[in-house]
Amino acid sequence: MISSQIKIHQKYGGVVPEIASRKHLEVISDVIEEAIKDANITLDDIDAIAVTYAPGLVGALLVGVSTAKALALSLNKPLVGVHHIRGHICANFIEHKDLQPPFVCLVASGGHSHIILVEDYTKFKILGQTRDDAAGEAFDKVARVLGLGYPGGPKIDAEAKKGNADFVSFKQVSFGKDNFDFSFSGIKTGVINYLHNLEQKNEPYNISDIAASFQKSVVEVLSKNLIAAAKKMGVDKIAIAGGVASNSALRSELELQKGKLKLYYPSPVYCTDNAAMIACSGYYEYQNKNFKDMTLNAIPYLSVE
Ligand code: KG4
Ligand code: ZN
């Protein structure tokens, strides 16, 4: 059961926080009811209630947290808090039964870009992160200036397939050997300046070539850092997660590591935000007895560690 708000936010070019939380409130009871029905179970069959409590838009998180607390209290079931990024990483366990920690995971979404050492199912260490924009945010902004609309990632991915990725070289930032941080604002500004320049000179341009060149630059940085971090940690398994993990160029680039590193990624439906990944992370937190009480609150910023 998936209830998506993408169509509602599309006309504003991005997520409007106030609308997001109001829409969550409108649909949450129906979504829970549908999910229980689809799974062919009753609420009594459930062992615990897991909910995303951090990080994210606080209004939207609060709708989930309040609902989960009400369910846990009324059903007398344990309450489990899930970190959104842990959820994204755990999406990999849903379909890959052979995947076990330790491994290094790249989480790239609209709000986050992290390289994380997954030491155990509930133990995570940040190896690198973005110093400015998240990768998905860069995709969304560049798509907007190219007039491709929201959400930008899938639009750029599709447009890039028709273009020449070597048409322009958008400069990447590296923070040196053994530093796995990212910066995407330079690449994004590079695209904007390039377009302004052409527009001022009244020169025509091919959107597909620019989309492909931008995507290549972002994908190269993401892959390079992920592979370097895995080598440094001495692990032979890498995974990707988050909305940007659906990107076809990123997947192809990482597939080149076959033979050297074992690559895992979730199906696209488990890459973008979904409740199955939260349930999966919730399962491991539950096994670890990481329970929350009725004082659980939504937290907008919280480290994954
Ligand atoms: O994980 P997600 O659904 O939500 C957040 O937690 O942010 O990620 C959404 C982000 C958006 O920025 C979207 O443009 C990007 O993931 N995205 C992609 C692709 N599909 C979604 N970026 C690049 N290529 C894609 N195919
Ligand atoms: Zn997400």
Cα dihedral sign for 268, 279, 139, 115?
A: negative
- Please choose from 9, 139, 271 the residue to mutate so as to test ligand 1's pocket, defined by most ligand atoms within 8 A of CB: 139
Predicted local confidence at residue 16, as pLDDT:
80
**Ligand 1 binding site (Cβ under 6 Å of any ligand atom):** 109-111, 136, 139-140, 151-154, 157, 242-244, 246-247, 272-273
Give DSSP secondary structure letters for 78-144: -EEEEEHHHHHHHHHHHH-TT--SSEEEEEE-SS-EEEEEEEETTEEEEEEEBSSS-HHHHHHHHHH
For 243-292, write each residue's pLDDT tens digit: 999 999 999 999 999 999 999 999 999 999 999 999 999 999 999 999 99
Average pLDDT, the chain: 95
Compute the distance between CA of residue 181 and CA of residue 292 in angstroms, rounded to an integer: 32
Ligand number with the minimum distance to the CA of 248: 1
For 180-192, write each residue's pLDDT tens digit: 999 999 999 999 9
Residue type, position 11, single letter: K
How many Cα neighbours within 13 Å face the side chain of 181?
A: 11
Please state which of the ranges 58-62, 97-101, 159-163, 171-175 shows the lowest mean pLDDT. 171-175
Radius of gyration for the alpha carbons in the chain, expressed in angstroms and rounded: 20
For residue 99, give both structure tokens: 């995947």
> Does residue 14 surpass a pLDDT of 80?
no
For 214-253, write each residue's pLDDT tens digit: 999 999 999 999 999 999 999 999 999 999 999 999 999 9
Predicted local confidence at residue 230, as pLDDT:
98
| Closest to 185 (Cα-Cα) out of 139, 126, 249, 242 | 139
Q: Is the pTM of this model over 0.85?
A: yes
